[in-house]
Amino acid sequence: MKLYLVRHGESEANARGLRLGPVSNLTDKGRRQAVFLAERFKNIPIDIIVSSTLNRALQTAEIINQTLKKNLLQSDLLVE
């Protein structure tokens, strides 16, 4: 079994220099980063995607999953 860990794309908080904060959406750059990553994972066998419930992480996972079309689970266990 292989496990791939992916950090969320750039968030609004990241763009302002903040490192933490539960409510922060992706920036346009963050959305482009997620699309780029989806393309990189397109030919890698993935069984499931598990995401934090935080906006920035879930948005990243959803964008990636638009390409991969896998079962997407959300877990509070991944919230910092």
**Would you please indicate which residues are annotated as catalytic (active-site) residues?**
8, 80
Q: How far is CA 6 from CA 30, 37, 51, in A?
A: 13, 9, 9
Closest CA to 43 of 25, 14, 68, 63: 68
